[in-house]
Amino acid sequence: MAGLAAAIMLAVCGAATAFAEAPQAEAARASASRPLVFLITWRGCEQACRGFHDYVARMKLPVEVVERDAGQDRRAIGGLVDEARARRAAAIVTWGNDVTYEVVGPYDAVDPARHVTDIPVVYMYVSGAVEGKISRGEDATGRPNIAGTDYVVPLSAQINAINAYRPSRRIGMLYDPAQEGSVQRMEAIRDLAPRMDFTLIAVPLPLGATGRPDAARLAEAMDTLAAQQPDFVYFGLSSFLIQQVKPFTALALERGLPVFSGGQLPVEQADALLGLFTRLDQIGALAGSQVESILTQNIAPGEMPIARLNRFTLMVNMSVARTLEVYPPISIVRVADFIKVEQ
């Protein structure tokens, strides 16, 4: 357990309308002396996006930030890229796998007419960048105009955290078969299972007529998962599950299933029991520092190491622990942050 504690401590955001301001008004505010940074989000401005804005403000970076949201519609992103080009953006910041993939394309199938090759791009909140062919390597993107951040806690550390709390030989997961990043996360955990001596119970979320997960069938999916008696439920990477975080975790709690999350929101704002994560505001700040280096120090994006933090946060929701009567062992108590402690 002491080894895990040490490992945890060491290893431990209708489209195109984020601001109400019209593009013409924004253009009037921008000037040649303030380079334009074009920030494209997927589902609004969340913690990483706010962390980026906070870094720009705190460091008084001499840039103009324009924010656009894709509204979870990949078809909208091409128009946002066109706008960034038309407005001569000095840098583009992308949030999430879907936005980043549409902006830069896979490294082995880049279309210069569609994908950005001549403007610096900094990505954040991207998981599986290598598997998704966004980056050529784990330490650097290997692409001349692209830099990035890595927010993901190593999966092995996540599984170790689950086992430190409660030895688990059966880990359950609901994943979104319509979202590439969600499938990649499921496959990565499945590949890890034999090496770490656990079984992954992976259940696809039922899709509706739109081809997206059907919220009305979330309980059905949770029942399917619960019937297979997992020791812990892994909160899978999915925009749908983030939107449904409260009903998802409540459904698990009702069935006596503890939920682990690699992000802070399910623990802080819902009923996940345990989380091991990088704080997203800090990831946004890392992306801000990369933009600063590119625009103020003229560092080529492709020469920059992928930015990551080496300390993670382990968090326990004590309200859920009491409800499930699954209390943290001493090895967890020594290193974790505890929330909802009061009865």
> pLDDT averaged over consecutive 10-residue blocks of the chain (343 residues)?
42 36 47 85 94 97 96 94 97 95 96 96 91 91 96 92 97 94 91 97 95 95 98 91 94 98 92 94 95 95 92 95 96 94 74
CA gap 311, 12 in Å, rounded: 4
pLDDT digits (tens, 9 = 90+) for 296-316: 999 999 999 999 988 899 999
Give the integer Cα–Cα distance in Å for 40 and 68: 5
Task: Supply the pLDDT for residue 343.
Answer: 56
Q: Mean pLDDT score of the chain, rounded to an integer?
A: 90
The DSSP secondary-structure symbol of 87 reads: T
Distance, in Å, from the CA atom of 283 to the CA atom of 242, rounded to the nearest integer, reads: 18
Distance, in Å, from the CA atom of 1 to the CA atom of 328, rounded to the nearest integer, reads: 12
Go through the domains of the chain in sequence order and give each one's CATH number.
2-152+280-308 (3.40.50.2300), 155-277+312-339 (3.40.50.2300)
In this prediction the pTM is: 0.74
| Chain centre distance of CA 302 | 22
Instruction: Report the alpha-carbon distance of residue 80 to residue 102 in Å, rounded.
Output: 10
Does residue 293 contact residue 279 with C-beta atoms inside 8 Å? no
Pick from 57, 47, 37: nearest CA to 13:
47
SS3 assignment, position 207: strand
- What is the pLDDT, as a whole number, of residue 7? 43
CA 295 to chain centre: 25
Strand order in the sheet with 91-95: 64-69, 36-41, 91-95, 121-124, 146-150, 307-308
- Please tell me the distance from the alpha carbon of residue 225 to that of residue 120, in angstroms, as a whole number: 43
- Collapsing DSSP to helix, strand or coil, 263 comes out as coil
85-112: pLDDT as tens digits: 999 999 999 999 899 999 999 999 999 9
β-partners of residue 150 are 308
Specify whether the CB–CB gap between 90 and 114 falls below 8 A: no
